[in-house]
Structure 1
Amino acid sequence: MEGRVSRRGALSRAWVSSLVVGGMLAFAPAASAGDQATAPKDYAQTALNIIPSGQPGGIPPPPGADTQAHMYDGLTPLFDNVTNSDLTQYFKSEKFGISTAGPGTTEAVPRPGVTIVRDSYDVPHVTATTHAGGVWAAGWIAAEDRGALLQQARYDARVAAIDAPGLDAVDLIASLKSFQPSQQTEDALAKQAGVLRRAGPEGKKVLKDIDTFVKGINDYLEAHGSTAAPFTRNDIFAFNALKDQFVGEGGGDEARRSQFLGGLQQRLGVRKGYSVFSDLRQNINKGSPRTVDGHFRYEHDPKKPGAPGSAVLDPGSFTPTPAVSASATHGVSQPAERPQASNEL
């Protein structure tokens, strides 16, 4: 899902909205100004994007849902001969406002101060007079454009929240299986509201935004006669846990690599072994080409070995143990391996 956000009004809490909407993984679309006359100044000389899966997320997909997929596929035969003109042909504008993707179609919404305009790609452009209006619109659009996925994911996402051994929430969603949460699970999720309250004023603002976002979802469901159970804070807490499980994938090889570092240090000495290990990682290579001037503090290693929290394992000292014993999972079918793809959800 895609778009950009603008509001006529307070902007100081934009980061709070990003916490709430970002917690929806790919479910909650961002938005942009639909009124060119009131849209904020866009400083981008060129802003382009393409979402091959398209904006519509209903089942069955409406006509034209594959428009962006065909555009993106036009790049494939060009391989390494893509020109500037190809970019504007096979990517669409992401500048504020409808731009060349008009004319827009204004959507009827029940909240004053919120305008949603759909461009020719069905991308929602939102203009809201208040911060709360923008957050509400994100919830409304999430229910409209990703309603089927929201319903499939809302309970399965709780598996990520409780970190159930041997289960993967993303696999459950992708395989269309359903997890039935217990009251104990719901009680554990509800504790997150207390965590936010204890975080002070900013935490309470996040909680308020969650409630506003949920209201946007539920208002859409009510307006369209849905019989689904209303969404709650717990659904958003679970979606955030799902995002963490999905985006946080990777790793799992730390113990083996730590043993490799330990072997280097035994053979070459602590400092030289650490230096060789860092060179092999190549996470910060001063000789790499750059497209942006300046430096960013990403993936910085401790300046010297032996920093707190960076224990090194002796080579051959670690034996992995399954989280769930074989006897405990006997007769239980395991989720099929998920195919690797970007923007899977």
Structure 2
Amino acid sequence: MAVHVLLALQREYPGIRLTVATKKGYTPVFEQIPGVRVFPVDTRGAHRGLGGLWKLYRELLALKPDAIADLHAVLRTHILRFFFRISGVRVAVLDKGRKEKRRLVAARGRKLAPLTPTHQRYAAVFAALGYPVELRPADVLGKPPWPEAIGIPKPGDDGGFRSRDGAGANIGVAPFAAHAGKCYPEKEMKRLLALLQEEKGLRVYLLGGGPEETRKLKQWEREFQNCTCVAGKGSLGQELQLIGNLDLVVSMDSGNGHLAALFGIPVITLWGVTHPYAGFAPFGQPRENSLLSDREQFPLIPTSVYGNKVPPGYEEVMASIPPETVYGCIRGALAPDTANQASTTGESERK
């Protein structure tokens, strides 16, 4: 989510030198930004423990930074900030808004109102350092080349269902998340894939992560003829390239939605026990692209900020989002002039 802020910094402060210190696994995300240096941090090896943090501090100090923006605000970065402060380097830290987030998910006395978006919280850190930015919809990455090495052929124009540019539509579907309370039930997901299979010229790329998820996605690839499983077929950098070539992505409240938003493509997010009011909606997406579970049926939503708390009876909360509603939203986002009646019908049923 910080990528959009870094792009805004480059736009408003030409020539600014940005170095992102992050875990090695995340370097492909920031390497997409032209002109940004990525410094890999090894928290399990060279930079482990207090001694490792001192080593990391010395390595970063050697870059002669004018300022340090702590976008993580955890114990490890708290220690690093202390080191930089005693060296006279300006430091600013992220305000995660923990108190207001606790009130948002409180069982009693809650006030369901939108909190500051995380993108704006990141921007506030740079403003505190003297670099205010105004985020714009254009603060996204350009379309990358298709990842030929991943071994998945790029489909041509098959006609039929059309995206905005008139070509056959290619969409990504990411049905999983870190916590079960944020995952669309398999029964509803298969109904959605069945609806999408009926659309001529529509190719679905299944995005996932771990071994069990990959096994299920490969099963769906065999079951639905227009589906291609992407999981396990390439690096994160290659998967990012593929995502950047899609016309739309359907995601849970999870990282895949944010990865798609990096490239400014439409993202439809499905929300279970979490809620976009916590500030984690993908960048630049219209409110109607956030499909929420039924709060009349499940009034405790949001039960947690990250989806790790599922009260009894809330295990199937996302089943209250009809596949027809998701399907209609997809059609509306890809071809708004030809969106079918399923969108209107599904929305009224959900309310």
TM-score, normalization by structure 1: 0.25
- What is the TM-score with the length of structure 2 in the denominator? 0.25
**Structure 1 or 2: more strand by fraction:** 2
